[in-house]
Amino acid sequence: MAAAAAAAEEAAAAGAEPGEPGPEDFVYGEEDFVLPGAGWEGEPGAAPSRFDRALLAAWSDRMERGFFRYRLGPLPARLLPGPMRLVAQLNVQRGAQRRPPQSITSLRQPFDPRAFNFTRLRPGELLLRLRRAAGPPAPLLVAINASPLERGHVLLLPEPARGLPQALTAAGLRAGMEAVLLSAHPGFRVGFNGLGGCASVNHLHLHAFYLGWPLRVEAAPAQPLSPRLALLRDVPAPAFLFYAAGPAELEALAQDVCRAAEHVADAGLAYNLLATRGDPPGGTAAGSGRGLRVLLWARRPSFGAKAGEAFNVALCELAGYLPLPAAALYRDITEAEALRAIRQQLLPEPQLLSLAQDLAQLLDG
């Protein structure tokens, strides 16, 4: 496993320039998890963690060295009026300068080594190798997203040399959830866009990013479906909610989420995912402190290359975060317009409830 990741780095090194930086090892244990939760800037617990410092220092270094497609400064952002508290952010450069997304034609599209994939990254684009001190030897590679949404936007790459397609794995999800717990920033989230759910590259990867705004999906109470699954309704896009109170529950949660995602794909549907700190499913009164929420959205598949200038609906939009590519759209968009675009991609209510019943039986059967 470790050799596979090393092979990916060696393949990337073929195009390296002399003196180009490479990834640094970041070895962590449970003592590095920020378990009580983190505070927003100015609140108790708001100081960055060892992980935050390492990631952001490496990310800023690569920005200064010119590894990104554009220089990213502070971005305009605003809260749209309305109960869903959607966060709109203007990022014109990402809309205009990002790499053209691949054309996705199937929920089961195999990995194509001839297409762009993450073994082609230069060593300078790789920031960290996350290694659990007592865990599997294969590291999780952390790479820049060359067209970032925000400062600190990175890709999490589980064993890229294996050439796995963009289908969620329990090992990759667990590593991503541990990354959330390693950060002391309450707005550090990890997400996944599946095939047919606006994935841009058919090579296994997760997104991780910092966003300085709370999201409704992190606190809204959910309707219990079973002891291991709930349905989040009063949010921008209804989602299946999984919850872990602490690190000991991450492995079982990752297995549950991946079984559910596989069932969704078997039903001919696409999916997106977000892992974030959040309240227990029943709300703050149902437990002491925050744990980890994982939201799984089932949706109608969208095939073909996604348009760079359009209002695309992927994991960020489903969660209530709207990265927008045009100043006029950013200035004028309303909550009602955004929700209309988001909900066009979702399942009709009867289909959603039928799927909810199937998933509850699957997980508890």
- pLDDT for 137 equals 77
Range name among 64-68, 137-141, 214-218, 238-242 with the lowest pLDDT average: 137-141
pLDDT tier at 35, thresholds 50, 70, 90: confident
pTM: 0.93
pLDDT tier at 44, thresholds 50, 70, 90: low
- CATH 3.30.428.70 for domain 2-34+45-364, yes or no, is yes
pLDDT tier at 323, thresholds 50, 70, 90: very high
Q: Is the pLDDT of residue 307 over 70?
A: no
pLDDT tier at 39, thresholds 50, 70, 90: confident
pLDDT tier at 7, thresholds 50, 70, 90: very low
3-state SS record for 105-164: CCCCCCCCCCCCCHHHCCHHHEEEEEEECCCCCCCEEEEECCCCCCCCCEEEEECHHHCC
Active site residues: 205
| Tens digit of each residue's pLDDT (9 = 90 or more) over 119-169 | 999 999 999 999 999 877 789 999 999 999 999 999 999 999 999 999 999
Based on DSSP, count helices (H) and strands (E) in the chain, helices before strands.
Answer: 9, 14
319 exposed, middle or buried (CB, 10 Å; 0-12, 13-18, 19+)?
A: buried
Hey, what are 100's tokens? 């053209």
- Average confidence score pLDDT of the chain: 91
Q: Is the pLDDT of residue 362 over 50?
A: yes
Q: Which residues contact 181 (CB under 8 A, 6 or more apart)?
A: 33, 34, 35, 247, 292
Q: Is the pLDDT of residue 228 over 60?
A: yes
| Tens digit of each residue's pLDDT (9 = 90 or more) over 260-277 | 999 999 999 999 999 999
Q: Is the pLDDT of residue 15 over 60?
A: no
3-class SS of residue 214? coil
Q: Is the pLDDT of residue 308 over 50?
A: no
